[in-house]
Amino acid sequence: MDAKGNSALIERLVVVTALAVALGPLPVAGQAGAGRVTGHIAILEKDNKPSPDLGDAVVYLEGPGVGARAARLEMTISDKAFSPHVLVVPVGSTVAFPNHDPFNHNVFSVSDPNAFDLGLYGRGEGKSVTLKSPGLVRVFCNVHPRMAALVQVMATHHYGQPGADGMFTITGVEPGSYRLHVWHERAPAEVVKDVTVGPQGLADIQITLNARGFRVQPHKNKLGRDYPTNAGRERY
């Protein structure tokens, strides 16, 4: 190779070296900056019956990390029931309650600081509310006392819900120390556990909740009064 060729090769090597320094080392497979937290939830039931609603549990991590972006979500109304029964949303999100029934509903909550009253509205309408504070929001209908649902408003983006088999996965978890919370409406209290998440995440967490003493508690209407005595036999 002549002197001119040597000079061009040296120039290319200098450029490649400069780029490598500027960009830093290439990522190594399996060493991402965030991992997965996985595990299984079980619920102890009266008479050891199988749990019908494992998917209504909520799992979240309290610790480092920014909050999730607010979103627009729906909890639909059909056949005098809310769906899903438990909805998890980032703080600041807007939740719509579209009515698919051929009669009126009045969706409300008295859960401070996210209390709201959407008033009476009919089929094809979908009123909404923005939930600005983290916490549990109990949702009811002022017309139908058996209608009830829950919205968990999260200040963290590290949350999820298990499948029907109780298995859960939370993705994008940065390494660090966290407090793992597991909540279910039929358990008397959250299970809280300190965990450490490494670069590859954390696997095989086993959590057992106890719902053997659960009893459905009646609630008041939006005015704090009992529902009419014939409310359980309403025709619409």
pLDDT tens-digit series, residues 188-229: 989 999 999 999 999 999 999 999 999 988 999 999 999 987
Q: pLDDT tier at 167 (50, 70, 90 boundaries)? A: very high
In this structure, are 75 and 151 located in the same domain? yes
What average pLDDT does range 157-172 have in this prediction? 96
- Mean pLDDT (the chain) is 87
The answer to whether residues 79 and 126 belong to one domain is yes
Structural domain span for residue 170: 29-65+158-215
Q: CATH number of the domain that 196 lies in? A: 2.60.40.10
Please write the tens of the pLDDT for every residue from 97-139. 999 999 999 999 999 999 999 999 999 999 999 999 999 999 9
Instruction: Assess whether pLDDT exceeds 60 at residue 1.
Output: no
Rg (C-alpha) for the chain, rounded Å, is 25
46 or 20, which is more confident:
46
Distance CA 13, CA 20 (A): 11
Average pLDDT over residues 41-48: 95
Domain boundary among 109, 133, 155: 155
**Do 137 and 203 share a structural domain?**
no
**In Å, how far from its chain's centre is CA 228?**
34
CATH number for 101: 2.60.40.420
Full 3-state SS string of the chain: CCHHHHHHHHHHHHHHHHHHHHHCCCCCCCCCCCEEEEEEEEEECHHHCCCCCHHHCEEEEECCCCCCCCCEEECEEECCEEECCEEEEECCCEEEEEECCCCCEEEEECCCCCCEEEEEECCCCEEEEECCCCEEEEEEECCCCCCEEEEEEECCCCEECCCCCCEEEEEEECCEEEEEEEECCCCCCCEEEEEEEECCEEEEEEEEEECCCCCCCCCCCCCCCCCCCCHHHCCC
Residue 231 is predicted with a pLDDT of: 55
Q: Between these two residues, 96 and 7, which has the higher pLDDT value?
A: 96
**Total-model pTM:** 0.83
Calculate mean pLDDT across residues 63-87: 93
CB of 95 within 8 A of CB of 76?
A: no
CB count within 10 Å of CB 138 equals 16
Pick the last residue of a domain from 103, 137, 155: 155
